[in-house]
Amino acid sequence: MRAPFATKLSLLLALSFVAPTVLFGQTESYGSPLPVFEFHSGFWLNLHHTLYYQARQQRTPGAANVLSAANLTPAEQKAWDAAVGFYARTYAGKDLLVALDLVLIKNQLGDFETCEDLAGLKKKTCDAGLPKQLTDVLNAAAPVYRARLWKEHDNANRRWIAGVAPLVRRSGVELSHRLAEIYQTDWPQERIRVDVSAYSNSAGAYTTLDPLRVTVSSLDARNQGPEALEILFHEASHGISDNVQNAILRECRQRDKPIPRDLWHALLFYTTGEVIRPTIFTSEQAAPKKGYVPYAVREGLYKRGWENYLRVLTEYWQPYLDGNQTFDDAVAHMVSAL
């Protein structure tokens, strides 16, 4: 059985034991699907990602310990080390985005974010049904995390939410309509859950499907300021990209060509950056940010094997974005040119 979500209040943080939540969206005053994001800063999911992050860090000599300055008691240190060790043995070698067990764990921890424990010790409906060893590890590490890190992480998450919400409020409707139009589909009608966590994966954000959920790091330097808006809509676009992926696959089969790896993903980065570029602002009062550099350019993604993708996107996809080319022709030309 799933525990109910924390109370959701529009643009307010709901104060619960472990799961402050904020809902952002527009009212149903438009005829088309609207961007509705439901932001969560959940205790258990943050603990999970922190342990995963620390376990991965152990693979790098000299990497910082997230609790290195916390002056843990011997009992706290033992519980924390045991939890990190379990994650190092069990999950650190897996990808948060790809490994099915990690995707299911993440979703389950989000659904049970209001619970004080995950074994149903105080409330039967809080038995999350996770593997027993994982449940025991998380329950044992929870007091340490709550005492030493949670307040800091939760505050960072809340600041990130407070920073991006005005940007979504100002430009979100336009962006969602435009992206849905480009991908020739509908924007998701249900609220898109965004789990804000101090740590996420190596990319700083990732999206899982069925259900569509976005996880974004509030501490990652790549996700700060107005750039957070691009991250948010890029990740949300993963839920509406089927038409692009299917069109690329169809054109490759018709031409008996190998499917270009990650072309669809490069296209998502390119499209979100180009759509956001004219509308992004530095703050509520500021003028438009001139010379905004899209994420893929700023982080050098096109220099890591995507050089040809940038070429065909600029030459054939951009005319489609400008209204001078059809969707099918743009995809066909891109595939043909690779």
- Burial zone of 10 (CB within 10 Å; 0-12 exposed, 13-18 middle, 19+ buried): exposed
CB-CB neighbours of 63 under 10 Å? 12
Q: Which residues of 291-322 are buried (b: 16+ CB within 10 A; e: fewer)?
A: ebebbbeebebbeeebeebbebbeebbbebbe
pTM for the whole thing?
A: 0.86
The answer, yes or no, to whether the previous bond of 260 is cis (omega within 30 of 0) is no
CB-CB neighbours of 58 under 10 Å? 14
d(CA 150, CA 273): 33
- Burial zone of 85 (CB within 10 Å; 0-12 exposed, 13-18 middle, 19+ buried): middle
* Tens-level pLDDT at each residue, the chain (338 residues): 333 333 232 222 322 223 345 544 333 333 334 567 999 999 999 999 999 999 999 887 767 778 766 788 999 999 999 999 999 999 999 999 999 999 999 999 999 999 999 999 999 999 999 999 999 999 999 999 999 999 999 999 999 999 999 888 888 888 999 999 999 999 998 889 999 999 999 999 999 999 999 999 999 999 998 899 999 999 999 999 999 999 999 999 999 999 999 999 999 999 999 999 887 754 444 445 457 899 999 999 999 999 999 999 999 999 999 999 999 999 999 999 99
Q: Tokens 């472990």 — which residue?
A: 18
> What is the token pair recorded at 131?
């593997």
d(CA 211, CA 193): 9
